[in-house]
Structure 1
Amino acid sequence: MYATIHTLLFEHDLRLVVLAGVICALAAFAGISILHHARRNSRKARYVWLAVAAVAVGFGVWSTHFIAMLAYRTDMAVGYDLLVTASSLIIAIGIVGGGLWIAAIGEHRSDLALGGAVAGLGISAMHYTGMAALIVGGRIGWDPALLAASIILGMVLGSAAFTLSAWRPGQAWRTGAAGVMTLAIVTMHFTAMGAANLDNCYPIVTEGDATPANLSLAVGIAGILIVGLALGGLMLDLHERRRAARETDRMRVLADAAVEGLIITDDRRVVTANASFLRMIGAADVDIAGCPLDELFARTALAELLARPDMRIETELADARGRRIPIEAILRPVEFAGELRSAIAIRDLSARKKDEQQIRFLAHHDPLTGLANRATFNRQLLREVANARRLGQRFAVICLDLDRFKEVNDLFGHAAGDTMLKVVGECLAGVLEEGQTCARLGGDEFAIIIPDIDGLARAGRIAEAILEAFRAHNARSHSGAPLSASIGVALFPDNADTADMLVANADTALYRAKRDGRGVYRFFEVQMGVAVREKRLLENDLRNALARGEFSLVYQPQVNVQSGEVTGFEALVRWTHPTRGQIAPSTFIPVAEECGLILNIGDWVTRQACAEAAGWANTVTIAVNVSPVQLHAPGFVARLRAVLQETRLDPRRLEIEITETALIRDLTRTIATLDEVKALGVRIAMDDFGTGYSSLANLRAFAFDRIKMDQSFIRSVDRSDQSAAIVRAVLGLGSGLKLPVVAEGVEREEELEFLRHEACAEIQGYLFSRPGPIGDFAAVTSGRSRSLADPLPVMRLVAS
C-alpha cells in the first residue's frame, strides 16, 4: 500500500493523473450506462450496444493507462512500441467487451459478477501489455505481491461494479457502479505501477524521439472520443428513460383499465404488470419488475407460451403466498418503450373452475341436501348389482318417504319444507357408514344402498337407527313440524334380481309401512308385490280409459218424501273395462285420486251431466260428486264456469257434492273455493255426512244447501236404537239449521216408514230405483211425469 501511494504522489505528474482519472470516470460511466441500456434491448440491438460499450470502456482504460504513463516520471527517456501499444488497445476492447457480453446476456446476479471479473482481468491484461510496450534498456523488476494484488483488485472491484449496476433500478445505482469501476481501473493501475521497479533500466531512445508526442496526440483523440461516447450514452439513456416512462405510463393507464391481468416480459423476466395482475397474485403494493417468469409459471407452461404465441393455454400461476391460481394465458409480441417485448394476457379461472366444480357436484348431487341425486343413485345401484352377482353377496335398498310432508309445505310454506329436507339429509348422513350410498330421489323421497349385507336383521337395525335419529331430532327441536318417515326395505337377490325390480319392491314395502300407521319400517313380502302390481295395472288401464270411451254415466233419482215427486238426479260414473268388465267406483276412484287422473275424469263427468241436464224439459237438479283432489286443484272454479257456459245449464240446477275430507285437508282454502262456486249460483251439498271428522264445526264453517246422510246409518235404522238416535239427531239438526236432509241408501220399506215419520225431506235408494241410464227416466226428464213409473213406493209415501 505504501509503495502504491508513494508511486502516485511522488512519481507521477498529478495534473495528468487528474486528467487520466476524469477520462477513466467518463469511460466507466459510459460503459455502465450502455451496459444497462443493452440489457433492456432486443437481442440484435443488444449486440450493437455491447460493441459500443466495449470500444468506449476499452479506449477509456487504454487512454487512462497511457495518460498515467505519460504522467510517470522515470527520469529517463522512454519510448513505446506502437504495435504492442495497439495490441494492448485491442486486448482491452476484446476482454472488457467479453465481460460486458457475459453481464448483458446473463439472467442472474452471478452472471453480472462474472462479467465484471472478466472486465477487471481485461484491464489488468491491457495494463501489463502496455507496460511491455515500453522501450527501455535492461529489465523491469516486479513485486509479485503487488502484481497479484493489482490483478485481484481489478477483478473484485470490476465484479462489484457490474453487480451494483443492476442491484436496484435508478440512476444513483448506475452512477455508484461507474464510480466503483473507476476505482477498479485507477487502483489496478497505480498498484501495478507500484509493483514495477525501473532501477535496472536505462534509456535507449533519444529525447527527440517522436513516440511520446504521437502517443499524446492519440491519447487526446481517444479522450475526446470517450467523452463524446460518455455524453452520448448519458443523453441517450436519459432520453430513452423519459420516453420509456411516458410510454410506460400510457400503457399502464390502458392496462390498468383492463379486467384481465397483463404482464410485459422480455421472455425471461417481468418488465411491468398491470394492477389487475398484481391484485390477482395478491401483490398490489409490490414492484415485480425483474421477477423471473419461471417463478410465476411452471417451466412447461412457460415453454409452451413462448413456443406457441397467440395460442390460449390453461395452466396455474403462483401468487404471492405460494398458492396456485388456475388461469388462462395467451402471449403476443408487442412493442413496449421502443423495444420488442412479449405481452401475456392472463384471465383468472378461479370463478369458472369453482362454477365447473359446482356444476359437476350438481350433476351428481341434490343441491338442497347435498346427498347423491337419482342419476348417481341409479349408477351406484347398477354397480352394486354387478358386484353382488360377481362376488355372490347380498345388499339392501331402503326407500324412505316423509310422512305428511305436503301438509308441512301447505301449512308452513316451502321454506319450512326445504329446511325439513335438509335436516333429513343431515340425519341420514349421520346414521350411515362409509361405503353406504344415500340419495334424494325427488320431493320427499330418499333411498339408501347398504352393500355387502348379511341379512334382514342388519337392514332392520339401520332402518331403526334412522327412525331413532328422527325421534332424537324431534326431542331436541320443539319448533316446526316433527320428523316422521315410513321406510321400506328390499334385499338383492332375495327379493329381486334386477335393479329396477329391487327399488320397486322396496317402494312397495314403503307403502305397506304407510298403510300400517306410518313412522315404521317394513320388509318386502311377495304378497305385497301382487297387490301393488294389480294396482299398477289398474292405473295403467285407467290412463287410457277416458280416451277409449270406456266411461259412462248412470243416474239415480232423488225423491221428495211428502209429494213423491222426483226432485233431481245424482250422476254416477261407471267404468266398463274391455276385459275385466264392470269395475266398481270404490275400486278405481281411489287409484284415480292417487295418480291425479281424477281431474280429467271429474271434468268429463261434470260436462256430460250438465250437457244431459241442459236438454231436459223438467228442470230438476243434477248432482255431481267432486273429489277433494278436484276441489283443491288450481283452476277448478274456472273450469266449472267454462262447463256451465259451454252447456248453457242454469247454474241453480247444478249441485256439487263434497265430503268432509275436503274440509279437513285445508279448511281455509276449501271455504274460499266453495264461496267462489256459490257465487256462480251452483248449489253445494255435504255428502256422506256423519262419517268424517268435526261435522258440526264444518256445518258452522260454511252455509251448505243441504246434507246427505250416509247410508250406513239408514240400513239399520229400524233395528238399532243407536242408528235411530243418530238419524233423528241429524234430521233435527237439519231442521234447526233449515238445511234439507237427503237420506241415502234407502232399500227397505221399514227404513222408508221410519224416515217418513221423522219428517225426512228427500230420499234416494234402491227402494225407488237403482242407478241407470238416463233413458230409463225419460218420462220424468221430458216432463210427462213428476214421479217414477213404479207408483208403489210413492203411493206408500203419500198414503197418510
Structure 2
Amino acid sequence: MVMVFSCLVHEHNIGLVLAAILLCIVGSWVTARLLHRTLEAQGVQRIGWYFLTALAAGVAIWCTHFVAMLGYRATAPVSFDASLTVISLLIAIAGSTAGFVLASSKRIRWAPIWGGALVGLAISAMHYIGMLAYQVQASVSWDRDYLLASVAASVLLSAWALQLGMRHSHRASNQMAAVLALAIVILHFTGMAAFRMTPWPGQPVLDHPSQFNTLAWVIAGMAVLVIIAGLVSYLLDNRARVETMERLRRMALQDALTELPNRVAFAEWLEQEIALAGSQVRYLALIVIDLNGFKEINDAQGHRAGDEVLRVLGLRLRNALRRDRGEFIARVGGDEFMATCRAGQHEEVLQFVERLRAVIVKPIHSGSFDIDAGASFGVAFYPSDANDSEQLISNADLAMYRAKAQLAQHVCFYEPGMDELVRKRRNVATELRKALDTGQLSIHYQVQTSVATGGILGYEALVRWLHPVRGAVPPAEFIPIAEESGLILQLGEWVLRQACAAAATWDSPCKVAVNLSPMQFSQVSLLALLKAVLEETGLAPTRLELELTESTIFMDRKHALELLADIKALGVSIALDDFGTGYSSLDILRSFSFDRIKIDASFVQDAESDLQTFSVIRAVLSLGKSLNIPVMAEGIETPSQFSMLKEAGCDEFQGFLLGRPLPLEHIVQSGQMGLVSRAV
C-alpha cells in the first residue's frame, strides 16, 4: 500500500492523476445509469443500450488508464504501439459488453457476480495490454505480488459492483458507480506500483515530455465528450419515457369521449378526499348521477348522437365545477357520472346538484334535433353514511335508484332504511330461486272472451307463488325482482313449458297466451326454445300466443321485427300487450302485423270518469278495425265497463268480471273445459 501511494505521489503528474480519477468516477456513474436503463429495455432496444453502456464503460476504463499513464513520469524515452493501444480499447469495450450481458442473465446462478468478474478481467486485460503498448527504452520488470493483487482487486470489486447494480433500489446505480470506479483506480495504480523500470547504463534521465501532457488532456477531453454523449442519450430517453408515462397515465385516468376523469381516477380521488375528510373532521358528499332516457336517445337517433350528448355534457359539467370547493366529477360508466364536494349541510350539496342538473337539462343540439336530457341524483355523506369508499358508493347508488323510481324527485339522499329495502329484495330473489326448485310456483289461467259470440278465445297463463311462510306473494312484487336478478329467464322458460304442456291436454282448441319479458325476448336462443317446447309438449303452434310490450320492441327495433317474423313463421301468434302505456308508435303497427292488440287495464279503469281516456280507447279500437287487428280490453271489472266498451266496438274482453285467474283443475271442475288423455 505504501508502494502504491509512493508511486502515485512521486512518479505521477498529480493534475493528470486527479483528472483521470474524476474521469473514472463520472464515466462509472454514467455507465451505471445506462446499465439501469438497459435492464428496463426489451428486444432490439436492449441490444442498443448494451452497446452504449459498454462504450461508456470501455471509454471510462481506457481513458482513465491512458490519461494516468501519460501522467506517469518516465525516466527513459517512451513511445506507444498504436496496434496494441487500439486492441486494449476494444478489449475494454468487448469485455464490458460480455460482462453486462452475463450479469443480467436470469438463467445463470449468481449471474451478476460472474458478469462483474468478467468486467474485472476485461479491466485487467485492458491495463496490461496497454502497458505492453507503453514501450520504454529501459529494462522493465514486474512485481508479481502487486500484479496479482491488482487483478484480484479488479475482479472482486467489479463483481461486487455488478451485484449492487442489479438490485432494485434507487441507490443501486450510485453504489455500483462508486465500487466500479474504485475497481478501475485500484487496478491501475496497483498495477503501476508493480511496474519496475531501470534506465540503461549511460542513458540520460529524461523529464516527462510536455507533449504527453497535451495528449493526455486531449484524450481526457475526448473521453468527456463520449461520456457526455452517453449521459445525454440517457437523459433524453429518460425524459421521453417520463413524458410517455405521463401521457399514458393521463390516458389511463381520462375518459376519451368526455375528457373527464374515469373510474380509476375517481377511485384515487375519492380515497384522497376520504382521508382528508377524516383528518379535518368535515363531511364529504358523494353524488351518483345517472342520465334518464339515454338508451332511448341511442335507439332513436343512433350511437353517434349519444356520444355527442356525452361529449357536450362532459364539457358542461367540467366547466360547472368550482375547484376551490373541492368539487370533482368523473364519468364512471356508459351514462353514469360520479361527483364529490366538501360540504357540511344538505343545502350546500343541493346547490351543487342543482348547478350540475342545470347544465344537464339544457337542450343539446344534434343535427336537426334538440335533445333534452335529464338525470337522477343519489347522495351519500362520509362519514355519517359510510365507513369507507366502497360503502359510500353503494349507498349513493341506492339513493340514486330511489330517485330514479320516484319520477317527481330527481335527487334523493341516502337513508338507512334503503339498506333494509335492498336486503328484502335480495331475500326475495333468493327465495324465488328456491321456489323454482321446490315446486312453490304454479300457473293460473284467466279466460279471454269474444264479445260477438260470448265464447272462450283462450286463457292467459299467469304465474303465482305460494310461499310456505308468507303465503301468496303478489306477482307485482316478485316479477320485477326476477327481472332485476336475471331469474326471469329461468322463470319465463318454466312458465312457457308448463303452459304449453297444460294446453296440449285441453279438449278445446282455444289458445294459451304467455307473456315474454324484454330480457327473454333479447335472448338469441328464444326461437330455438320455442321450437323445442312445442315439439316436446306436442302443442300446435297456432294455439300458442306470445304477449310482449311495446318497450320490448323498441329496445332493438330491427332485431325485434326480424325475430317476430321468425316466430310468426312458426305459426305462433303475437299480441301487443299493454298498448297505450309505452311508446304507442303507429310505425310499429305498420311495420308488423300483430295478431292482437291489448288495451292496458289502466285505460279501462279511467275510461268511465275521463272522457279523454275513453276517446283514446275509441281511437285504438278504430285503428284496430282499420288494420284488421282484433283489440282486447284488459281489466274489465264492472258491468258498466263491459257495456261501455262493447258499445264502443271492442272485440274481446279479459278481466275479473268474466273470470279470475284460476288453477287449471278449478277451470276443469267448473265445466269450462275438459282434458284429453294422452298416449304414452
TM-score, structure 1 length as denominator? 0.53
1:117 matched to which residue of 2?
A: none
Letter in 2 for 1:399: V
Aligned CA distance change for structure 1 residues 761 and 51 (closer, same or farther; 3 Å): closer
Equivalent positions of 1:79-118 (< 5 A) are 90-91=203-204, 94-95=205-206, 98-99=208-209, 103=212, 110=214, 112=216
Task: Indicate whether 1:318 and 2:232 are aligned.
Answer: yes
Shift of residue 709 of structure 1?
A: 3.2
Q: Is the 8 A contact 1:400 1:510 kept in 2?
A: yes
Equivalent positions of 1:552-701 (< 5 A) are 552-694=442-584, 696-701=586-591
Equivalent positions of 1:452-463 (< 5 A) are 453-463=343-353
Q: 1:782 aligns with which of 661, 668, 674?
A: 674
Q: Is the 8 A contact 1:396 1:459 kept in 2?
A: yes
Q: Is the 8 A contact 1:560 1:761 kept in 2?
A: yes
Task: Indicate whether 1:486 and 2:376 are aligned.
Answer: yes
Q: Is the 8 A contact 1:609 1:624 kept in 2?
A: yes
Q: Which has the larger displacement, 459-468 or 353-362?
A: 353-362
**2:203 match: secondary structure:** helix
Task: Indicate whether 1:737 and 2:627 are aligned.
Answer: yes
Shift of residue 468 of structure 1?
A: 3.9
For residues 731 and 412 of structure 1, the distance between their equivalents in structure 2, rounded to whole angstroms, comes to 31
For residues 714 and 471 of structure 1, the distance between their equivalents in structure 2, rounded to whole angstroms, comes to 35
Q: Is the 8 A contact 1:742 1:760 kept in 2?
A: yes
Letter in 2 for 1:670: A
Equivalent positions of 1:161-240 (< 5 A) are none
Larger Cα-atom Rg: 1
For residues 752 and 438 of structure 1, the distance between their equivalents in structure 2, rounded to whole angstroms, comes to 56
Letter in 1 for 2:291: L
Structure 1: which 5+ runs fail to align? 1-30, 56-85, 104-108, 114-162, 167-267, 270-288, 298-316, 327-348, 785-800
Q: 2:132 aligns with which of 39, 48, 71?
A: 48
Letter in 2 for 1:294: I
Task: Indicate whether 1:441 and 2:355 are aligned.
Answer: no
For residues 559 and 445 of structure 2, the distance between their equivalents in structure 1, rounded to whole angstroms, comes to 31
Letter in 2 for 1:95: L
Aligned CA distance change for structure 1 residues 293 and 449 (closer, same or farther; 3 Å): same
Question: Any idea what the Cα deviations from partners look like across 1:91-126, whole Å, max 9, x if unmatched?
Answer: 2xx526x549x93xxxxx74547xxxxxxxxxxxxx
For residues 741 and 473 of structure 1, the distance between their equivalents in structure 2, rounded to whole angstroms, comes to 39
**1:571 match: secondary structure:** strand
2:341 matched to which residue of 1?
A: 450
Question: Any idea what the Cα deviations from partners look like across 1:468-516, whole Å, max 9, x if unmatched?
Answer: 4446794799878565433222223344455444333322332344345
Letter in 2 for 1:444: D
**2:442 match: secondary structure:** strand
Equivalent positions of 1:92-491 (< 5 A) are 94-95=205-206, 98-99=208-209, 103=212, 110=214, 112=216, 293-297=226-230, 317-319=231-233, 323-326=235-238, 373-374=262-263, 377-378=266-267, 381-382=270-271, 384-411=273-300, 413-414=302-303, 417-418=306-307, 420-430=309-319, 431-433=321-323, 436-451=327-342, 453-470=343-360, 474=364, 481=371, 484-491=374-381
Shift of residue 555 of structure 1?
A: 0.7
Q: Is the 8 A contact 2:78 2:135 kept in 1?
A: no
Letter in 2 for 1:650: A
For residues 755 and 87 of structure 1, the distance between their equivalents in structure 2, rounded to whole angstroms, comes to 137
Q: Is the 8 A contact 2:79 2:135 kept in 1?
A: no
For residues 640 and 504 of structure 1, the distance between their equivalents in structure 2, rounded to whole angstroms, comes to 39
Letter in 1 for 2:86: R
Shift of residue 742 of structure 1?
A: 2.7
Shift of residue 653 of structure 1?
A: 0.9
Shift of residue 775 of structure 1?
A: 1.6
**1:464 match: secondary structure:** helix
Q: Is the 8 A contact 2:305 2:366 kept in 1?
A: no
Letter in 2 for 1:441: V
**2:460 match: secondary structure:** strand
Aligned CA distance change for structure 1 residues 404 and 564 (closer, same or farther; 3 Å): closer
**1:442 match: secondary structure:** coil
Aligned CA distance change for structure 1 residues 438 and 548 (closer, same or farther; 3 Å): farther
**1:703 match: secondary structure:** coil
Shift of residue 449 of structure 1?
A: 2.8
Aligned CA distance change for structure 1 residues 478 and 711 (closer, same or farther; 3 Å): closer
Q: Is the 8 A contact 2:500 2:539 kept in 1?
A: yes
Q: Is the 8 A contact 1:397 1:447 kept in 2?
A: yes
For residues 611 and 352 of structure 2, the distance between their equivalents in structure 1, rounded to whole angstroms, comes to 52
**1:782 match: secondary structure:** coil
Structure 2: which 5+ runs fail to align? 1-76, 89-126, 140-198
Letter in 2 for 1:295: I
Shift of residue 446 of structure 1?
A: 2.2
Q: Is the 8 A contact 2:80 2:135 kept in 1?
A: no
**2:547 match: secondary structure:** strand
Aligned CA distance change for structure 1 residues 367 and 533 (closer, same or farther; 3 Å): farther
For residues 650 and 674 of structure 1, the distance between their equivalents in structure 2, rounded to whole angstroms, comes to 18
TM-score, structure 2 length as denominator? 0.61
Aligned CA distance change for structure 1 residues 417 and 697 (closer, same or farther; 3 Å): closer
For residues 665 and 87 of structure 1, the distance between their equivalents in structure 2, rounded to whole angstroms, comes to 105
For residues 526 and 244 of structure 2, the distance between their equivalents in structure 1, rounded to whole angstroms, comes to 43
RCO higher in 1 or 2 (8 Å CA, sep ≥ 6)? 2
For residues 247 and 266 of structure 2, the distance between their equivalents in structure 1, rounded to whole angstroms, comes to 19
1:767 matched to which residue of 2?
A: 657
Q: Is the 8 A contact 2:82 2:133 kept in 1?
A: no
